[in-house]
Amino acid sequence: MPTAIFIDANGGQYEAEAKIGDTLMEVATENGIDGIIGECGGVMSCATCHVYVDNAWLDKLPPADEVEESMIDMAINPEDNSRLSCQITMTDDLNGIIVRMPVSQF
């Protein structure tokens, strides 16, 4: 089972096991990881699952589509490595992925 590493804005690190096919948002919310809210349940209408993907993992992800990019533009403090965790589906290739959470999702 792959794992995902979530780092909060204060540097706290949390590791969670993920089922293949689950999104990072689902992994975070199912494991009670603070900082990823996922208010809309993963339908890309809120951006409350915004994360910063560690640069070492960006090339392993498919590019964000136009809808995701427009939602990221509405997130607080978007960066070049910003993604919506509801759009990152866990695979064996993503075992150990590291994402950082913003200071706030609102």
Is residue 105 one of the residues assigned to a domain?
no
User: Is residue 61 classed as helix, strand or coil in its secondary structure?
Assistant: coil
Is residue 106 one of the residues assigned to a domain?
no
Q: What is the CATH number of the domain that holds 90?
A: 3.10.20.30
Q: By the 8 A CB rule, do 3 and 17 touch?
A: yes
What's the pLDDT at 71?
Answer: 94
Q: What is the pLDDT along the chain (106 residues), one digit of tens a residue?
A: 999 999 999 999 999 999 999 999 999 999 999 999 999 988 888 999 999 999 999 999 999 999 999 999 999 999 999 999 999 999 999 999 999 999 988 7
Provide the domain limits for residue 58.
Answer: 3-100
User: Is residue 71 classed as helix, strand or coil in its secondary structure?
Assistant: helix
What's the pLDDT at 98?
Answer: 98
Is residue 11 one of the residues assigned to a domain?
yes
Q: By the 8 A CB rule, do 15 and 5 touch?
A: yes
C-alpha atoms less than 13 angstroms from C-alpha of 39 in its C-beta half-sphere:
7
What's the pLDDT at 8?
Answer: 95
- Number of domains, the chain: 1
What's the pLDDT at 73?
Answer: 94
